[in-house]
Structure 1
Amino acid sequence: MTSKNPAGNRGSADGIYPSSRLERGLLVAAIAVASIGLGYLFFTQLWWKLPPDFSCRDDFTRGGLCYFLQHSVDEADASNKLLKAEIFGSNPGPELSVPIGWATQLNAAFIENVVQPNIRWFGYVIWGTEAWIFLSMCLGFFSRLGALAAIGMSMQLMIGLAHTPNEWEWSYILMVLLSVAMFGIAPGRYFGLDRLLRPRFRALSERGSRVGRLLLLFT
């Protein structure tokens, strides 16, 4: 008996699609909106820290990107807890929370000892990574690799800033969760350039190419 399960088709490897054309269209549209939206979030942050000085002043010690890096270091000893849940109002402090003190300390040490002394070139790494995320998520180009970069950047922002005063922790946490979702979904398989690239990478993979398998993984 012939199976009618579309999972047996090679094309189904590029995404799990509902059978209905309407549902399929809604799925692709939702993924595209989420992916492009994530990319646009990073796009909006490119312009206040443009190279070559990243809006830093006084020999890369104040202002612009340098300010936020130093802010993460200065606030490393702040609350250091996220997602506080005060379930019983009679108890002092939240009953549930996620401690991140160890992560904020590691983040501060990395910034202070690696990023800040090398900000003249490390700034390009930060700016370039955010630009890559924007292009990857909006064009569906190596979208899983772009989502992986988004996870890294979002995690760093969450660890460095979410617990500090006058910041809304949900915004950073939601960025991490959206990035993780995009990594799992690989949005370029539903729209964008990855749909054109994957058949070529699959052909390489089927010929035993390790590079082809790696390229398939990141698209």
Structure 2
Amino acid sequence: MAEQAVDQQVTPGSEQASTAASTRGSITLTNLQKALLIVARLALAYLFFSSLWWKVPPTFGCPEDYAFSSGQLSSGGTFVSFDNRTSGLCDWLGIQHAYATVGPDWLVFVTNLDNTGDPEIFLNLTPLRQFNGAIVGDIIMPNIQLFGWLIWLAELSIVILVGLGLFSRVGGLIALGVSLQLTVGLAGIRNPAEFEWIYLNMVFLSLVIIAMAPGRFLGIDALLIPRLTRAEANGSRLASIGLLFTGR
């Protein structure tokens, strides 16, 4: 009843209307919660920022012949042994392809309840890693000069969108896609050692960015939201889409 009364008294398109629209359904956060979201946002952005520089275009850190790392399963069957590792993006794409084609099974969420013998709890996602390896080997590696740019620009967009809090949910979605691909390709491998939970935490952190849209706090989204809210109150569908990606 109270909400209906407000709707009857507020003129559409007015500042009161935009304020009322922006507060409906919003979640009130404490200053500490906002600060923690800002830290999470900047941490994810810096993680991708620090990874930009070893695969800078146009060579992406690869050798002149764009050779990829290759290897074979170790005698113990627990990791891939590499005869020749190359450099840059060619190195890490080759590692992903090797673990997908000749590597051991990919088990995630492994837990050994009695600390002896084989683990009692695990999830075998080997087919997913093999599927990723097929895409890497058959599509990405043969077209490295195209996909190298796409990979680098995707990570740069995460740095800009998440770091500046500009349409932060878009940045979170891109980060989620990149993090999932890296998780499938590299999480839990033993040579080189890539700790599974580092990649899983990247996925979870990306989900937090998508859910909470932290650009609303000390980000460019905080400046855009009032303008988009007023435009939405005037019937703009583009503004509604913009608010979906910035939060309210």
TM-score, normalization: structure 2? Answer: 0.78
1:97 is matched with which residue?
122
Structure of greater Rg = 2
Structure 1 CA distance, aligned partners of 2:129 and 2:180? 11
How far the C-alpha of 1:176 sits from its partner, in A, is 0.6
Partner residue, 2:138: 113
Tell me the amino acid that sits aligned with residue 147 of structure 1: G
- The count of corresponding residues between Structure 1 and Structure 2 is 209
- In structure 2, the CA distance between the partners of 1:191 and 1:14, relative to structure 1 (3 Å rule), is farther
- Cα separation, partners in 2 of 1:13 and 1:132, compared to 1, 3 Å: farther
Counterpart of 1:16, as a letter, is I
The correspondence for 1:168, drawn from 181, 195, 207, is 195
Report if the CA contact (8 A) 1:155-1:176 is conserved: yes
DSSP 3-state at the match of 1:61: coil
2-side partners of 1:10 and 1:27: how far apart?
Answer: 23
Q: How does 1:74-89 map to 2 (within 5 A)?
A: 74-76=98-100, 77-89=103-115
Q: Say if 2:172 and 2:210, in contact at 8 Å, map to a contact too.
A: yes
Contact 2:110 2:123 (C-alpha < 8 Å) held by counterparts: yes
- 1:110-136, Cα deviation, whole Å (9 max, x unpaired): 111211111102111111111111111
* Contact 1:14–1:189 (8 Å) recurs in 2: no
Q: Give how far 1:71 is off.
A: 0.5
In 2: Cα distance, 1:17 partner to 1:131 partner: 31
Counterpart-to-counterpart distance in 2, 1:68 and 1:183: 27
C-alpha separation between the residues in 2 aligned to 1:43 and 1:13? 35
The sequence identity of aligned pairs, in percent, is: 38
Q: Distance in 2 between matches of 1:2 and 1:204?
A: 24
**Residue 152 (structure 1) shift:** 0.6
In 2, Cα distance between equivalents of 1:212 and 1:38: 27
2:37 aligned to which of 31, 40, 43: 31
Paired AA for residue 23 in structure 2: S
Aligned to 2:23: 12
Quote the residue 1:57 is aligned against: 63
For the Cα contact (< 8 Å) 1:85–1:95, is it kept in 2?
yes
For 1:121, what is the secondary structure of its paired residue?
helix
Distance in 2, matches of 1:125 and 1:132, equals: 10
- Alignment partner, residue 226 of structure 2: 199
1:36, 1:118 → 2: CA distance?
32
Distance 2:88 2:24 in 1: 44
Number of the residue aligned with 1:67: 91
TM-score of the two chains, using structure 1 as the length reference: 0.88
The offset of 1:60, in angstroms, is 1.5
Rate the CA distance shift 1:27–1:15 in 2: closer, same or farther, 3 A: farther
Unaligned runs of 5+ in 2: 4-18, 69-86
Correspondence 1:129 to 2:154? yes
Query: Counterpart of 1:154 in 2: which secondary structure?
Result: helix
- How far apart are the structure 2 equivalents of 1:87 and 1:52? 48
Instruction: Report the alpha carbon displacement of residue 13 of structure 1 after superposing the two structures with TM.
Output: 5.1
Contact 1:79 / 1:164 at 8 angstroms: preserved in 2?
Answer: no
Pairwise CA RMSD: 2.1
Aligned to 1:84, what secondary structure does the other structure show?
strand
SS at match of 2:218: coil
Contact 2:21–2:233 under 8 Å retained in 1: no
